[in-house]
Structure 1
Amino acid sequence: MAQKKRKRKKSARSATWRRLAVRALLVIVLAPLVLMICYIPPIVHPVSTVMLRDLVLLRGFQRQWVDFDDISPALVQSVLMSEDGKYCFHNGVDWGAVNLVIDEALDGERPRGASTIPMQTVKNLFLWSNRSYVRKVLEIPLAMAADTIWSKRRLMEIYLNVAEWAPGIYGIEAAAQYYYNIPAARLTRRQSAYLAVTLPNPYLRHPRKPSRGMVRLAGLVERRALQSGAYIKCLYD
């Protein structure tokens, strides 16, 4: 009899944990969808989870929101060609890149990144920074939802305003002022290329003190940006 009671208690606890897990998952998925709808109006300026962390830890941060039309097209082109060349053609996820990463993982190779700009945006806004397969799984449906709910211009505007460009420096306007003492609208092609290659690791890369590798990458990004006409039509047509 005592053993049966213990089994019932264990079963009840398991059921309780399952219900809590399901509710947590619903919150993680549904709350971002509600916020995405709230973020549609251009007068709304979203903040990232990392910005909120900095506030909670009393670190403070710099961020000056700037409208898409007030960002240098050279910067937009450079970031797009550096981070997500198929941005205008996919639904939030580059399935070809995702499948390649899965194949490499199955073959025992170190997986490469396959994050699109929508995936990076939803990660910045709604998820956590530490890499994990759980986060990647959540990024995919959220990125597809963001690509559906927001226009491509609005999505890019949000991304460029929440991305971290240096420790405590968020958004392209603050980054342009911090590194070059100019507004984002006046960034040159070379400055834009350096800022674009800084994005993957703003804690180790500095656009005004580029390493030899950064110089090489920036040159490649600058050349691609000059030839990006067909790739950015969803942003400027």
Structure 2
Amino acid sequence: MAAFVTDLFRRLWRWTKRICIGLFILQFLYILLLKWVPPPTTFTMLQNRVSAWQDGAPFHYQWVSYDQISPYAKLAVMAGEDQLFPDHNGFDFKSIEKAWKHNQHNRSLRGASTISQQVARNVFLWQGRNWIRKAIEVYFTFMIEKIWGKRRILEMYLNVAQMGPHVFGIQAAAEVYFHKPASRLTREEAAMIAAVLPNPVRFRVNPPSSFTRWRQQYLLQQMRNLEGDEDIEALIRK
């Protein structure tokens, strides 16, 4: 009997290892594939598609290549979401430390996710706050930084980030809010879209709230401050 149980555990262990190795290879190949191919969908998009269908509302999403996106849109999201994006390796440890200290003493939680972390979460994972998801997010952030590079990460962010109720990506946002392609967005329009990114369901581009207009003006100032930075200029002009 003991020999049978031992043999059973050995077989289970072998199959567990094979499954884990297989899953690792599959996810690695998927990350590699997405370096060149748009993702078919994301968990957040799927949830929103269902929600839009239930509400009888249209769902807006259209992939657009990096060179068809206005430089102002690239600059605006970096100004609002991650000003050190060209320089870090996926994590802004100073912001993480500040957010951790803030969250220890405040009910309102402050995030410190870089654009790379947001892409890892949006493309591969689900929304929510728990340590398991956060740990997996760290892994995917590390992988896309090593495999994709900054240009692809920013391109992915601008295409999969939610930018309004049932609106995903800069092309859809440009068409829905300003009736033009993403390539023709002005500085002010790009800043207005970026202004709602912290909470694209609560904050609206059209009609904008007083807070959204204030944040747009703040981002316009931050964009002016970032212009002239060699790393940022090189990234948005590629």
So what's the TM-score if we normalise by structure 1? 0.81
Work out the CA distance in 1 between the residues paired with 2:138 and 2:144: 10
Alpha-carbon deviation of 1:58?
7.9
Alpha-carbon deviation of 1:50?
1.5
Q: What does 1:217-232 correspond to in 2, within 5 Å?
A: 217-229=215-227, 230=229, 232=232
The answer to whether the Cα contact below 8 Å between 2:52 and 2:59 also exists between their aligned partners in 1 is no
Which of 42, 47, 71 is equivalent to 1:53? 47
Q: CA 1:31/1:114 → structure 2, altered by over 3 Å: closer, same or farther?
A: farther
Structure 2 counterpart of 1:4: none
Structure 1 counterpart of 2:202: 204
Work out the CA distance in 2 between the residues paired with 1:215 and 1:56: 31
Give the number of aligned pairs. Answer: 221
SS in 1 for 2:163: strand
Work out the CA distance in 2 between the residues paired with 1:226 and 1:153: 21
Structure 1 counterpart of 2:34: 39
Alpha-carbon deviation of 1:30?
6.2
Work out the CA distance in 1 between the residues paired with 2:25 and 2:51: 27
Structure 2 counterpart of 1:6: none
Question: Could you report, residue by residue, the CA deviation over 1:112-131 in whole angstroms, capped at 9, with x for unpaired residues?
Answer: 10100011001111111122
Question: Could you report, residue by residue, the CA deviation over 1:51-88 in whole angstroms, capped at 9, with x for unpaired residues?
Answer: 23345678373211111111111111011110000000
Does residue 93 in structure 1 map to residue 88 in structure 2?
Answer: no
Alpha-carbon deviation of 1:99?
2.3
Of stretches 190-199 and 52-61 in structure 1, the one that deviates more from structure 2 is 52-61
Which of 161, 164, 169 is equivalent to 2:162? 164
Work out the CA distance in 1 between the residues paired with 2:31 and 2:175: 28
Structure 2 counterpart of 1:137: 135
Work out the CA distance in 1 between the residues paired with 2:223 and 2:161: 20
Structure 2 counterpart of 1:127: 125
Alpha-carbon deviation of 1:135?
1.9
Work out the CA distance in 2 between the residues paired with 1:102 and 1:191: 33
What is the percentage of aligned positions where both structures have the same residue? 33
Segments of structure 2 that go 5 or more residues without pairing to the other structure are none
Structure 2 counterpart of 1:151: 149
Structure 2 counterpart of 1:64: 62
Alpha-carbon deviation of 1:210?
1.6
Work out the CA distance in 2 between the residues paired with 1:169 and 1:64: 10
Segments of structure 1 that go 5 or more residues without pairing to the other structure are 1-8
Question: Could you report, residue by residue, the CA deviation over 1:4-23 in whole angstroms, capped at 9, with x for unpaired residues?
Answer: xxxxx9xx9xxx9xx98xx7
Q: Which amino acid aligns with 2:105?
A: G
Alpha-carbon deviation of 1:108?
3.4
Work out the CA distance in 2 between the residues paired with 1:176 and 1:226: 21
Q: CA 1:234/1:95 → structure 2, altered by over 3 Å: closer, same or farther?
A: farther
Structure 2 counterpart of 1:82: 80
What is the RMSD computed on CA atoms of the aligned residues?
Answer: 3.0
Q: Which amino acid aligns with 1:184?
A: A
Structure 2 counterpart of 1:108: 105
Work out the CA distance in 2 between the residues paired with 1:99 and 1:202: 25
Of stretches 78-87 and 108-117 in structure 1, the one that deviates more from structure 2 is 108-117
So what's the TM-score if we normalise by structure 2? 0.81
Q: CA 1:227/1:132 → structure 2, altered by over 3 Å: closer, same or farther?
A: same
